[in-house]
Every structure is written in structure tokens, then in C-alpha cells.
Copies of this chain bind each other. A is one copy, B any other.
Amino acid sequence: MSETITGVSTRDIRFPTSRELDGSDAMNPDPDYSAAYVAIRTDAGDDAVGHGFAFTIGRGNDIQVAAIQALEPFIVGLPLQDTLEDLGGLWRTLVHDSQLRWLGPEKGVVHMATSAVINALWDLKAKRAGKPVWRLLAEMSPEQIVDLVDFRYLTDALTRDEALEILRAAEPGRAQRAAHLLEHGYPAYTTSPGWLGYSDEKLARLAEQAVKDGFTQIKLKVGADLQDDIRRVKLARDVVGDDIRIALDANQRWDVQPAIDWMRSLTSFDPWWIEEPTSPDDILGHAAIRRAIAPVKVATGEHGQNRVLFKQLLQAEALDIVQIDAARVGGVNENVANLLLAAKFGVPVCPHAGGVGLCELVQHLSMFDYVAVSGTMENRVIEYVDHLHQHFVDPVRMRDGRYLAPTTAGFSAEIHAGSLAEHEFPHGPAWTR
């Protein structure tokens, strides 16, 4: 008897984070971290449910839910095993549906909906395989991995054959690197000290704590007021000393020349990178900023809409650091494309995380990258924010400023039932109290 995907349900889950100013930055003063949260059920009788989500920051999470619901008819009734065996094929079906495609194409709410559904299916696939997603991916053959990727619009920068070459070159060391990863984890940096809404005292205290906790890189939000930034970055440098990297994040606040000018005022504090100095769409703008402020690095990508943008950022030499996000582009499949593009161009991937559940998801992608794609952790760090992990069934585990490799089967995406009930919008107790 063949097994079937029997149901997709989507819920509007919101955490009232704006009450504490956690997550405040120059563009996002009062986010309520939210998830349009998907559960995919089957009739397989093994209790495995696939979980995934799109991350938003409050208003509009209901639009995101509506977009995911528009994908439900494409999923319900599919044969379970064939679907999980060919997630590359399903990805193409969802993304190339011509009517839904018009609403992007391949960007915004509809693309994030694809991400939620595809990631939930990866969670389901990994649970059924009894492996964490990073390991499931890292044990696939190069041919299976490239089949996940839609090379449409990529072939002027990366062909299927070139991708195969990259993956085959990394094959011999896989077992050794997986063992190293399980023993030592993957390096992280922390954004916890640097939110704009925090006082200088809180910034200093959290920066000091970050160093004690073993982090070798911290990140500060900048871009609202130059004098404040000079004071805050100097304070952070004084607290952490010269050996700790300080990354800065402007969250898209500036135009091109103002970004250059502002950063020149902060260069004396030796910042490691500036993140999102301008519009995430502005490939040429990032390239101009990068040329002007080197050796300070330019990082971007958390709002990168799809692989076509990442391709161009790399072609234009517009960035030093590729910041993939687990839930904005079309899920695992498109991020495999982004990892392969970054490897082709030799640019390190340092994922965006934080929010709700983004750390849980994206760690799997960096670990897959280390084991089976780039084969290195050099100059690579995953963002870490110490926030909302208690809501997850399989939360990230940190030790000495490093992510420990997940060992539980799945994508670490599942939220506790109690947390869902508490934070369902608008009728959960967190919102009616």
C-alpha cells in the first residue's frame, strides 16, 4: 500500500518580542518575531510530522499564512516516498507554477511559502531516515545533491557539471570532517550584545559575557545615529580587546555614499564586516561600497530573494561574506544552490540566524557545507542569538562559542505544542493577556 501526504496545516504564531526591544535595529525598531508555521502529516503510521516555517517580524504573518495555504493543494495527496525522493522535482513544481510565479517571481511572500513547505518536507524526510538534516544531506551522492538544485538562470556562473566537480572534490574527506564536526562543533558569533535598543551598560556587560562564553566574534547593530555608533563600537572594542572580531550590521539603512562615509568613521575600531549597508537588492551598490571600504568586509544575503541575486553578488564581487537565511529563499534546495555558488567563487558562507528558529534550521546547512561542499570552516561562523530557543523541541546546543552538531533526526524545526498554543495569534494567551 502506498503512503500519502494527507494534510498540511499552517498556524499564525507570534512572540511579543517588541515588549523587550530584543531584536531592535536601525530598520526594525519593534519586531514581534513570528512564524507562519507548517505541519505536514502522512498516513505512514510512523508518527513522523514534517515541520517548517517562514519567519516574519509580526504584521503580515497572516499574509504569509495565506501564501502557504495556497501551496497546500500542491502537496496534499502526493505519494509520500516518491515525493521525498525527488524534492528537487517538487521544488520546480511549486516555484514554476506559472500563476503563483507571477506574484514574485521567486521572491517575497510566495517564495518564503515555498521555503516553509520545502523545509517541512526535509524535516519529514530526515525524521523518516532517522538522521539530522545536515547528515542526511552530507551522505547523499554528488549526483543526488545536484538533482536538488534548479540550475535555471545559474548556468552562466555555475553549471550542473561544475557543481558536480565541487561536490566530488569534497567527497574523500567527508567522514573525517563529519567526525571532527561531531567532536568540536561549528564556530558561532553572537549578536546578543548589539541590539540598538540596549543601554551602553547592557552592551558592555553582554559583550564581556560573550567573550567569557567563548565567542571570538560579536556583532553590533549600527546605522541610526553616527555619534552613538562611534561611542558604542569604541565601548565594545574596549571591552573585548583587539583579538575579538567585531562585526557591524546596518540593516539596509544607508544609501551607497553615506554607507562609505559612515563606515570610514568607524574604521579605526577595526570592524570585521559591515552587514547590509544598503538595499539588499543593490548588487552594484554593494560592489561600490566594498571597493571603497576594503579591507573592511561587506556581508549580505539575509534578505537575498533567490539564487539569481546571490549569483550576481558573487559575479560582481560585491561581497566578502555570503549570508544565507534558511527560510527566505526557497528552502534547503535553493540554499544548496547558494552554497555551491559560494564554493565556486571561493567566498565563505556565514549564515544569518536569530529570529525564531533560524539558528535551529541554518546550522544544518553550514554543517552540510563543511562536510560535503566547501570542506572548510575557515573564516566561517554561524550567527547566534540567545533567544526563543526554549520553544523548540530540539534546540541548538552551544559550547564554548560553537554550535554542537544536532544528533536528533529532523531539521530541529519543531516548536513545542504548548508554545504554539500560547503564542497563536490573535487568540493565544500571550496576545489576550
Q: Which residues of B contact A154 (CB under 8 A)?
A: 255
Also in contact, A284 and B108, with CB within 8 A (given A67-B63, A103-B63): no
B109 touches A278 (CB 8 A): no
A98 touches B57 (CB 8 A): yes
Oligomer: number of copies: 2
Where chain A touches its partner, the secondary structure class is: loop
Q: Which of B103, B156, B284, B306 contacts A255 (CB 8 A)?
A: B156
B63 touches A109 (CB 8 A): yes
Q: Which of B28, B103, B106, B315 contacts A60 (CB 8 A)?
A: B103
Q: Flag A216-260 by CB within 8 Å of B: 1 or 0 each.
A: 000000000000000000000000000000000000100111100
CA of A100 to CA of B119, assembled, Å: 23
B56 touches A105 (CB 8 A): no
B308 touches A153 (CB 8 A): no
- The residue in chain B whose Cβ has the minimal distance to the Cβ of A67 is B63
In the complex, A152 has a CB within 8 A of chain B: yes
Also in contact, A30 and B98, with CB within 8 A (given A109-B103, A305-B281, A308-B279): yes
Q: Which of B66, B258, B312 contacts A283 (CB 8 A)?
A: B312
B60 touches A27 (CB 8 A): no
B110 touches A111 (CB 8 A): no
Q: Which residues of B contact A389 (CB under 8 A)?
A: none
Q: Flag A310-334 by CB within 8 Å of B: 1 or 0 each.
A: 0110011000000000000000000
Q: List 24 A-B contacts (CB under 8 A).
A: A28-B102, A56-B102, A57-B99, A59-B70, A63-B63, A63-B67, A63-B109, A64-B103, A103-B112, A105-B279, A105-B303, A106-B279, A107-B107, A108-B111, A152-B255, A152-B279, A153-B255, A153-B278, A153-B281, A155-B255, A156-B255, A279-B308, A282-B308, A285-B312
